[in-house]
Copies of this chain bind each other. A is one copy, B any other.
Amino acid sequence: MPPATPKRRNAEKTQQAILDAARQTFFEKGYDAAGTREMADRANVNVALINRYFGSKEGLFKKAILPELNIEFLLAGDMADFGQRVANMFAAKTGEKEFDPLVALLRASTSKEAIPLLRQTVEDQIIKPLALRLNGNTAHERASLIVTQLAGYDLLNRVVDVQTTSTGGTEDMVRLLGKTLQDLVDRV
């Protein structure tokens, strides 16, 4: 039965609910496999409202996921211990189920429709800002290699769920990944 009080109308809250549901759904299922009906149900909202407010699924993806891409957490801090700091963060979030924009991007990275959006986002929002923090004339290449390493790390560990560590803990992995990243910061 429908609620006795027929639910107050509030466009802003509705759009926010759609955005939240979309973020979670895109994060869990990638782009293609994330259905608009599922998102609408999660947001307790009619499907048609997605198109009304965001134009299309692609428009929703743009507003829900792309702005979440914030690599401040990567750049904030001394570059002298960038490697260990970042390695720790990435190792710590292995197995984490909460929304992570990077993983959302990875899960969408094989979708024809999403790829053009991803390409620009990765170049402008991730590689370029990171390259600006590096010294030397190969800054862009080294920034790219840092990003490819981190993308591959998250892809295997969190998307495909591959076993990358052998015995016991992750200390070895953190140390090795940290050293690899730091070498790229320090000009290899």
Contact = CB atoms under 8 A, between A and B. Distances in A.
Interface of A: 29-30, 32-33, 106-112, 115, 118-119, 122-123, 127, 138-142, 144-145, 147-153, 155-157, 159-166, 172-173, 176-177, 179-180, 183-184, 188
15 contacts: A109-B110, A110-B110, A115-B160, A119-B160, A127-B164, A139-B166, A140-B164, A145-B164, A145-B180, A148-B152, A148-B153, A148-B157, A151-B155, A152-B153, A176-B184
A148 B152 CA distance: 4
A90 to B, nearest CB: 10
A148 B177 CA distance: 10
Contacts of A33: 32, 111-112
Contacts of A106: 110
Contacts of A112: 29, 33
B162 A119 contact: yes
A119 B149 contact: no
A30 B110 CA distance: 7
A28 B134 CA distance: 35
Given A176-B188, A188-B180, A156 B148 contact: yes
Nearest to A118: B160
A163 B122 CA distance: 9
Contacts of A159: 109-110, 115
A115 to B, nearest CB: 6
A108 to B, nearest CB: 8
Given A119-B162, A162-B123, A162-B127, A177 B110 contact: no
Nearest to A30: B110
